[in-house]
C-alpha cells in the first residue's frame, strides 16, 4: 500500500470522528480542525518531498511500485476526495448543528443593521490598527507570503481608471471568528445565541478604510502552504546548532506547494497569484467555504461544557504520589512501575526528576529531549540539578520537525547554566525517550531509569496515549549507560543486554523474534501496536508469518502499507486502527514465544527511518505482573474495541461500523473509567 495514500486514508478516519454523532458537538468541531491541520502538514512534508524528488529526476519506485509522477497524481485525487469530505461535513452537518445549539457562524452579508454596526465597530477599534495593506507595482514588488498565513488578494480601480493589485494579511493574533455582541436579555430569559463572523469577511467588507478614494473591484482570501523540510548539511557543518537555526530561518522562504483559495475567485486574480507565487495550476486547491478550517479550533474552547467531553483527572498510583509514606526511589527499588498515560498522571515522571535534582545522593542525570514544549518542569528540574552540583548531560535533538526553534532555545538555556548539551548525531535523529539517574546508596551505585514511548512534555502527556516505565533493573541501567556513551562519545557499542537499539540491534532482533514465531507455526502469535507500518522487509516477513499459520494482530493508528486478508498472502493478519478522543501514540510489540511471552515497549514505529536513520530504543517488560496486565487488560481492550476501532481491508480502506448500546466496547473510555484500578493491577497488588 502506498504510504502517502495510506496516510490520507488515516485522515479520513480522523474526519469520521467529526461526522460521528456519538461524539459531542464541539469535539467534532475539534476534529475538523485537526484533519485540516494534518492536511497542511501532509503538504508541507509529504507532497513537498514528492515534488523535490520529481524536480531532481529521482527514478526510484514507491513501496507499491509507483513512479514519483504517478504518486503525485494519485495524491491529488485522494486530496480532492478528502477536501470534499471535510467541507461537506463542516457545512452540511456541523454548521447547522452548531446553529441548533445556539452557536451561529454567519456570513457578514446576513447580519442585520445592529449586528453589522457592532462588527464594524470591532473592525475599526481592533482590526484596522493591525492591518498593513501592501500594494504591488513597479516600485513595490509582490510581498513575501508567509507559510500558512491567510491573506486577501484585492483588485482596486484608481480615480484615473487604472487598476491595481494589493495584498492584506489577516492578523493571526486576533480571533478568527469574530463574536457579534447580542442584545441584553431580561432575567430568566433564555440565553441568546452566540453569533460569529469570519474575520476575513469583516476585513473585506471594510476595505475602503484601507484604500480611501479607490474602488474595490474584487477581493478573495488565499492561503499558501510551503515546503517545510529542513535540509541540513551536517557533514559540512562546524556547528550543528547554527546550521539548524539557519535552516529553520531558510524554511520560511521555501517554495509553496499548495495555494488554497475559494471557488469564487476570478481567473484574473488567480493568474496573478499563480504567477507571483510560482505555483502550477495543479497546485491550486479551491474550497467551497472558509479557507483554512484549522481556525475552527477557536470554537472548541467555548464555555459550553455540555457540548464537550467531560474532563477526567489522571490517576496517580498511591505509592508514587506525594502522599506516599516512602519516597519514589524506594518505591522503584521495590518494584518496576509502568504508567499508562494519559489515564495515569505524568506527574510521577516529573516528580522523579525533581527529587533527583535535590537529592544529595544523586550524582548525575542524563536524558534525551525530543519535543519538550514551553515552560517545561522537566527542564527546570535539570537546571536545579546543576545548581545543586549534579552532573547533568542532555541530548537535545535539534532536528525534531517543527520543534527546532523551541529546542534551540532550551539547548542554549541549558548550556548557559553549565549542562553538558549534545545536539544529536551526524546522520541520525535521536528519537528515543530515556532518563538515567545515578544515585549513591548504602550498597553502592544504583541507576534509576525512566523509559518512555512519548515525549517529556506534560501537555501532550494529557492528550496522547503512552507508557512510562520506572525501573532500577541493573541490566537496563547498564544498557542505558552504554547508550549515553554512544550518544555523547565515540562508543561503537554493538550489543546490549536488554534494550533493542536502532540502528544497531533493533532491526535484527525484531527479525529474529518474528522468525521465532514463524517456527512455532499455528501456535505462534504476534501483536503489534504502533503509529505506522511501512518497512518493506518487515511487512514481507509478517506475510511469511501469516502463511506459516502465525496469528498476527496489528493495531496501527496511522499509515499502514501492509494489506491484510489477501488469500494465500495475509489470511492470518488483521489490521485495526483506533481513532478517538486520545491520540494513540504508544508502541507495543508482543511475541507469544511458545508461552514464554515477551513484550517490548518503545519509541519506534516499523518504518525505515525509525529502524535505520534514528536512534530508537525498545525496552522489555521484565516484571511478569506488568506483562500480564498489558496482555490481559490493555491489549485485550484495544482489540475488543468496537466503537472507535476501524478494521483494515485488503484495498487499504477501513470499515467503520461502531457498535452502540449493549456490547459496545470503547477502549479509551474504559481506560478513563478504570484508571485508578489500573494503577493497582499494574503493581500486582
Handedness of CA 334, 335, 336, 338 (dihedral sign): negative
First to last CA, the chain: 45
Q: Which whole-number Å values give the CA distances from 377 to 32, 340, 345, 416, 442, in the listed order?
A: 31, 20, 14, 17, 30
State the catalytic residue, choosing from 431, 450, 585, 592: 431
Give yes or no: 592 in active site: no
d(CA 660, CA 664): 5
Q: DSSP letter string over 632-643?
A: IIIIHHHHH--S
DSSP state of 147: T
Paired residues of 180 in beta bridges? 195
Helix ranges restricted to H, 417-473: none
- In 473-563 the beta strands, taken as DSSP E runs, fall at 500-502, 525-530, 551-556
Contact 303, 280 (CB under 8 A): no
Q: Which residues neighbour 8 within 8 Å (Cβ) at sequence distance 6 or greater?
A: 42, 75, 78, 79, 82
Cell numbers describing residue 541: 516477513
Q: What is the 3-state secondary structure (H, E, C) of 167-205?
A: EEECCCCCCCEEEECCCCCCCCCCCCCEEEEEHHHHHHH
| Main-chain dihedrals φ then ψ at residue 359, nearest 5 degrees | -75, 120
d(CA 218, CA 591): 64
d(CA 387, CA 351): 17
d(CA 146, CA 157): 27
Q: Which whole-number Å values give the CA distances from 671 to 157, 601, 647, 650, 674, in the listed order?
A: 62, 18, 21, 30, 5
The residues annotated with a catalytic role in the active site are: 431
Amino acid at each position: 500500500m502506498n504510504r502517502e495514500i495510506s496516510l490520507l486514508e488515516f485522515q479520513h478516519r480522523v474526519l469520521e470522528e467529526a461526522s460521528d454523532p456519538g461524539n459531542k458537538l464541539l469535539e467534532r468541531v475539534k476534529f475538523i480542525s485537526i484533519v485540516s491541520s494534518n492536511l497542511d502538514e501532509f503538504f508541507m512534508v509529504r507532497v513537498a518531498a514528492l515534488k523535490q524528488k520529481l524536480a531532481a529526476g529521482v527514478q526510484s519506485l514507491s513501496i507499491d511500485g509507483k513512479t514519483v509522477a504517478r504518486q503525485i497524481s494519485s495524491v491529488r485525487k485522494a486530496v480532492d476526495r478528502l477536501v470534499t469530505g471535510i467541507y461537506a461535513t463542516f457545512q452540511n452537518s456541523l454548521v447547522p448543528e452548531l446553529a441548533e445549539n445556539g452557536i451561529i457562524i454567519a456570513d457578514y452579508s446576513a447580519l442585520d443593521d445592529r449586528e453589522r454596526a457592532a462588527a464594524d465597530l470591532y473592525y475599526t477599534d481592533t482590526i484596522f490598527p493591525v492591518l498593513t495593506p501592501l500594494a504591488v507595482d513597479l516600485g513595490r514588488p509582490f510581498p513575501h507570503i508567509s507559510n500558512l498565513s491567510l491573506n486577501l488578494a484585492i483588485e482596486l480601480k484608481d480615480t484615473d481608471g487604472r487598476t491595481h493589485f494589493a495584498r492584506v494579511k489577516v492578523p493571526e493574533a486576533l480571533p478568527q471568528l469574530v463574536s457579534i455582541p447580542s442584545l441584553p436579555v431580561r432575567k430568566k430569559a433564555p440565553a441568546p445565541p452566540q453569533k460569529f463572523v469570519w474575520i476575513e469577511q469583516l476585513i473585506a467588507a471594510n476595505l475602503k478604510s484601507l484604500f480611501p478614494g479607490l474602488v474595490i473591484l474584487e477581493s478573495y482570501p488565499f492561503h499558501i502552504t510551503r515546503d517545510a523540510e529542513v535540509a541540513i548539511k551536517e557533514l559540512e557543518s562546524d556547528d550543528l546548532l547554527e546550521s539548524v537555526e539557519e535552516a529553520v530561518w531558510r524554511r520560511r522562504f521555501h517554495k509553496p506547494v499548495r495555494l488554497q483559495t475559494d471557488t469564487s475567485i476570478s481567473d484574473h486574480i488567480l493568474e496573478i497569484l499563480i504567477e507571483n507565487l510560482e505555483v502550477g495550476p495543479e497546485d491550486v486547491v479551491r474550497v467551497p467555504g472558509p479557507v483554512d478550517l484549522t481556525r475552527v479550533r477557536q470554537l472548541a474552547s467555548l464555555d459550553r461544557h455540555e457540548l464537550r467531553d467531560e474532563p477526567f483527572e489522571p490517576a496517580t498510583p498511591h505509592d508514587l504520589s506525594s502522599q506516599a509514606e516512602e519516597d519514589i526511589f524506594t518505591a522503584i527499588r521495590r518494584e518496576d512501575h509502568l504508567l499508562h498515560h494519559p489515564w495515569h498522571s505524568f506527574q510521577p515522571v516529573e516528580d522523579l526528576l525533581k527529587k533527583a535534582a535535590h537529592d544529595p545522593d544523586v550524582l548525575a542525570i542524563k536524558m534525551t529531549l525530543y519535543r519538550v514544549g514551553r515552560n517545561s518542569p522537566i527542564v527546570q528540574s535539570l537546571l536545579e540539578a546543576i545548581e545543586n552540583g549534579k552532573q547533568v548531560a542532555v541530548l537535545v535533538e535539534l532536528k525534531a520537525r517543527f520543534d527546532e526553534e523551541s529546542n534551540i532555545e532550551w539547548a542554549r538555556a541549558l548550556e548557559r547554566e553549565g549542562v553538558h548539551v549534545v545536539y544529536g548525531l551526524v546522520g541520525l535523529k535521536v528519537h528515543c525517550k530515556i532518563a538515567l539517574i545515578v544515585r549513591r546508596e548504602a550498597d553502592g551505585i544504583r541507576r534509576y531509569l525512566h523509559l518512555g514511548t512519548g515525549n517529556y512534555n506534560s501537555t501532550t502527556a494529557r492528550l496522547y496515549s503512552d507508557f512510562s516505565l520506572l525501573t532500577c533493573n541493573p541490566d537496563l541501567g547498564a544498557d542505558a549507560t552504554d547508550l549515553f556513551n554512544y550518544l555523547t562519545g565515540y562508543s561503537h557499542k554493538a550489543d546490549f543486554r536488554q534494550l533493542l537499539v536502532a540502528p544497531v540491534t533493533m532491526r535484527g532482533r525484531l527479525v529474529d523474534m518474528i522468525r521465532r514465531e514463524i517456527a512455532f507455526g499455528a501456535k505462534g502469535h504476534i501483536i503489534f501496536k504502533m503509529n505506522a507500518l511501512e518497512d518493506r522487509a518487515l511487512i514481507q516477513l509478517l506475510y511469511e508469518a501469516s502463511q506459516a499459520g502465525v496469528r498476527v494482530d496489528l493495531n496501527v493508528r496511522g499509515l499502514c502499507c501492509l494489506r491484510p486478508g489477501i488469500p494465500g498472502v495475509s489470511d492470518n493478519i488483521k489490521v485495526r486502527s483506533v481513532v478517538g478522543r486520545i491520540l494513540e501514540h504508544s508502541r507495543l510489540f508482543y511475541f507469544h514465544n511458545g508461552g514464554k511471552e515477551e513484550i517490548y515497549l518503545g519509541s519506534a514505529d516499523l518504518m525505515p527511518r525509525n529502524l535505520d536513520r534514528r536512534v530508537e530504543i525498545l525496552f522489555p517488560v521484565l516484571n511478569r505482573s506488568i506483562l500480564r496486565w498489558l496482555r490481559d487488560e490493555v491489549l485485550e481492550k484495544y482489540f475488543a474495541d468496537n466503537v472507535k476501532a476501524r478494521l483494515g481491508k485488503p484495498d487499504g480502506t477501513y470499515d467503520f461500523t461502531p457498535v452502540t448500546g449493549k456490547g459496545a466496547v470503547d477502549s479509551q473510555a474504559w481506560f478513563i473509567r478504570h484508571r485508578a484500578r489500573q494503577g493497582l493491577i499494574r503493581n500486582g497488588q
